Amino acid sequence: MLRRTETRRDALVPAACVAVLALVAIGAVLAQLLPQLDPLRADFQAPLRPPGPEHWFGTDATGRDVFARTLAGGASSIVVAAMTVAVGLVVGGGLGVLAGFARGWVDALIGTLLDVVLALPGLITVMVVVTMVGPGRLTIGALIGLIMVPAFARIARSATLTVRGQEFVQAARIMGAPPLRIIGSEVVRCVLPAVAAYSFTAVTVAIVAEGSLSFLGFGLAPPTASWGGLIAEGRTHIATAPWICLAPAAVLCATVLAVNVLGERWGRSRP
């Protein structure tokens, strides 16, 4: 009896997480397509309306629908997170596999370069670069990805080291397979799952970092909607109209929580 409820709950939690992420994704797409969900359409007759049947999350100071803006903010988060993971996987994963496979001075050189990135104050560095090259979803995603390269590389390197010592890789080397082909076929196939598991963490870091940047005014510039930017706008009305910042904040936290929980399950399901 007890075990049945256990398994039921075990299946329920991931399902809820997937549902949250699916809703955010569908909402982000709909916000691009439906004119009713235009994040910039302002209803000047109805500023600072509390949540109700007409405006589910209420309206902001200029009468824009907070629900529509939250959905549009989700699109920004998705683009930024995808770019972060892409840069982390390709650059970090590549460097890690290279360092772990080549060892020797290549390993030491890559390690030193990664230590330089680790020593940079992440948020500050991204802020500096964004003010100079200009904000954009892809720029911000790539910058956060670069800051996360050392973490990706460390995981890829240690996974490569484990694989490198195993018989099938040794056999391939003895048979005279060129190093690049061994990396391409054997190592990547075994390293990718380990690095992919870390992508969940990278997604949460990207969402939080993009939110933080936009909150500070160094991220996505208006009119591009961003959860951090919406929360910053709502901050001035926190006492009179708390829904303007609470609604996007709740969606932001729910999304990060869902990714965190799914990532933890994914990591635990693998040896």
Contact residues for other proteins (CB under 8 A)? 108, 111-113, 115-116, 118-121, 123-125, 127-129, 131-133, 204, 208, 211-212, 215-216, 218, 228, 231, 235, 238-239, 242, 245-246, 249, 252-254, 256-257, 260-261
- Minimum separation from the CB atom of position 172 to other proteins (A): 27
Task: Phi first, then psi: give them for residue 58, nearest 5 degrees.
Answer: 80, -175
- Minimum separation from the CB atom of position 81 to other proteins (A): 14
Residue 269 CB neighbours (<10 A): 8
- Minimum separation from the CB atom of position 256 to other proteins (A): 4
Q: Which strand (E) or helix (H) includes residue 7?
A: helix 2-33
- Minimum separation from the CB atom of position 87 to other proteins (A): 18
Nearer to other proteins, 197 or 256 (CB): 256
Nearer to other proteins, 66 or 191 (CB): 66
Tell me how far apart the alpha carbons of residues 16 and 243 are, in angstroms, rounded to a whole number.
24
161 in Cβ contact with 101 (< 8 Å): no
Looking at this protein, which amino acid is placed at residue 163? V
202 in Cβ contact with 84 (< 8 Å): yes
Nearer to other proteins, 171 or 253 (CB): 253
Among candidate residues 251, 238, 201, 205, the one with its CA nearest the CA of residue 75: 251
Nearer to other proteins, 166 or 236 (CB): 236
